[in-house]
Amino acid sequence: MSGVVYASLDFARRRAALTPQRPALYWENRWYDYAELDQRATRLAAHLSSLGVAKGDRVGILALNHIAHLDLLFAAPKLGFIHTPFNYRLPAAELAGLLAYIEPKLLFADARHLALAKAAGCVAPSLARYEDWLAAAAETQLKPVVRPEDVHMILFTGGSTGLPKGAMLPYRQVLANCENTVLGWGLREDDCSIVATPCFHAALNALGTPLLHLGARVALMQNFEAAEYLRLAQRTGATLLFMVPSMYQMLAEQADFASAELSRVRWAISGGAPCPPVVRERYARRGIRFKQGYGMTEAGVNCFAIDVEEAEGHPDSVGRPLPNTEAAIRREDGTACSADEVGELSLRGPHLFLGYYQRPEDNRAVLRDGWFHTGDLARRDAAGRYTICGRRKEMYISGGENVYPAEVEAVLSRIPGVAECAVIGVPDARWGETGLAALTLRARGGWTDESLRAELKNGLAGYKVPAHYLFLDELPKSAAGKILKPQILRQWEEREAELCSSFTSKPK
């Protein structure tokens, strides 16, 4: 029985048996076929075993996107270790905290991040010699007992406060996400997508692992660079695009975007946040249609699907739950919300994680009666389409009325000249809370606090219009491209403190 379980979960081995010579991964100017990927993973598992790595051990990697990330992912079921990629953008003190929390048996690092690993108190083998010792490793087939509920990988949630939590993703979840995505998104064997978001992030499971599970093609970029992405999309014949809004915007701003050969692209999907209308319009002129995705590290990562034709009429909707996903929207008392009523989104299905590593209290807070309580606010319309309204913690109450930042951001992003925006609630002596809109502009174009308020009142109720505006050259973002609202709040508070200090220090 254990051999059957092992074979079904080792999809590098399974794909190598099904389509050995089919191109699978484009990395450093060459294609690796499925047989090569399986061979590399087999050698890596054998080498790690010779170093004392055993089932249940965490094996980490601290590196820009590199083929070693996928080698470790594919080698995990061959030995039973837990693949654990770390965020290379963390300061040494925070990385040290994560290393103490996870206690990896081994941590690989690329040349750029060896010093960071050392500063965090870890001596890491360098990826500079990775190919040499991988080639020298024995191609020994190991036979561990790997079951669907065993942990395949630990990915860290992007917590805005405190130490990030390690979400334990079992083999069952990874496989369910692949199957859900292939079925719900209509992926095909002739599809190709570029992984340009960091491999330490759950976005790798948006299209990367589903396409490789299917036997399609994936290209891997070491680090996102818009001009190179455009060249790579043409060179590899990309058919599906997955990026966060800021990346789509940078790509559209390339001088040769209008002339690039992108006729094979079937659709583009935006993760992390909706893509601004002005950006979607740039792609529409190229014949590329957009849709909005939604997912969380804890839930697979993909949870909903929407057809591109329907997405054009409902650009802010994420669509309907994927085939093996149940979704519910509930009020605070746990009762079901009515159509178009905003409540907390809960999810249930085989694509859910096991829980947070060594965090039982956090697990009890989010996993209840088989449901994962996302902390995200959503609404479902009469046709069954879901729209994400933002994080529950981000909602603020102004004059007794609930304000959902995502709704305000959607209207703000449609104003000509607004490149990016984020809305958060800040204390207000009169209304309890009011909105702060942080934004970047393509050109200042005469926009002021007053003119923006007046423009927003054309599309929003008065209590939803932000009272304050913070013009920035760039919005702070995580490595995965998500806007960091806590940092915006800190910048606002620092500016307010400086203004207050300047006022009080003036001679009377």
Q: What is the pLDDT of residues 393-421, one digit of tens each?
A: 787 878 767 788 888 888 888 888 888 88
In CATH, which of 3.60.15.10, 3.40.50.1820, 3.30.300.30, 3.30.360.10 is domain 397-504?
3.30.300.30
**Which amino acid does the sequence have at 489?**
L
Given a contact cutoff of 8 angstroms between Cβ atoms, the answer to whether 304 and 321 are in contact is yes
Cα 382 from Cα 374, distance rounded (Å): 22
Q: Which two tokens stand for residue 423?
A: 């809305």
Burial of 30 (0-12, 13-18, 19+ CB in 10 A): exposed
Provide mean pLDDT across the span 42-63: 95
Cα 425 from Cα 419, distance rounded (Å): 21
* Beta pairing, strands 217-220 & 23-27: parallel
Cα 286 from Cα 263, distance rounded (Å): 8
Q: What digits encode the pLDDT tens for the residues 208-259? A: 999 999 999 999 999 999 999 999 999 999 999 999 888 898 899 999 999 9
With both helix axes pointing from N to C terminus, report the angle between 67-79 and 34-50 in degrees, rounded to the nearest 10: 70
Higher pLDDT, 278 or 471: 471
* Beta pairing, strands 290-292 & 267-270: parallel
In the chain, how long is the greatest CA-to-CA distance? 85
**Which amino acid does the sequence have at 128?**
A
Strand partners, 241: 268
Look at residue 161 in the predicted model and tell me its pLDDT. 46
pLDDT over threshold 80, residue 506: no
Given a contact cutoff of 8 angstroms between Cβ atoms, the answer to whether 82 and 156 are in contact is no
Given a contact cutoff of 8 angstroms between Cβ atoms, the answer to whether 345 and 337 are in contact is no
Q: What is the mean pLDDT of the chain?
A: 90
Look at residue 2 in the predicted model and tell me its pLDDT. 39
Topology (CATH) of 1-20+34-137: Rossmann fold (3.40.50)
Domain boundaries, the chain: 1-20+34-137, 397-504
Whole-prediction pTM: 0.84
Cα 219 from Cα 233, distance rounded (Å): 9
Q: How confident is the model at residue 170 (pLDDT cuts 50, 70, 90)?
A: very high
Q: How confident is the model at residue 6 (pLDDT cuts 50, 70, 90)?
A: very low
